[in-house]
Amino acid sequence: ANAQEGLLQEDLSCLSRKISRTANCRLRPVCRTCAAACLLETGDYLGTPDYLCRYAAEFERLLRTEQEEESHE
């Protein structure tokens, strides 16, 4: 039972890190990644496909650029 508890704690810790990584991401408001994409790209519903993170970062950059251009008009 002690070994099982240790494995469970390890699994919960890993799960917590994965959730924290995405839940606290600054790009969350512009992120279009869904659980299905995560599963297909990483094999894990809580995985983080790096290229989709880059996509979200570029999308945010474009939105900021557009917003700055509109504020100068």
Whether the predicted model's global pTM rises above the 0.85 cut: no
Residue of higher predicted confidence among 49 and 12: 49
CB atoms within 10 A of CB 55: 16
CA-closest candidate to residue 50, choices 39, 59, 41, 58: 41
Measured distance CA(1)–CA(18) in Å, rounded: 26
Q: What is the CB-side half-sphere exposure of residue 61 using CA atoms within 13 A?
A: 6
**pLDDT score for 56:** 92
Per residue in 38-62, pLDDT tens?
Answer: 888 888 888 888 888 899 999 999 9
pLDDT at 16 over 90: no
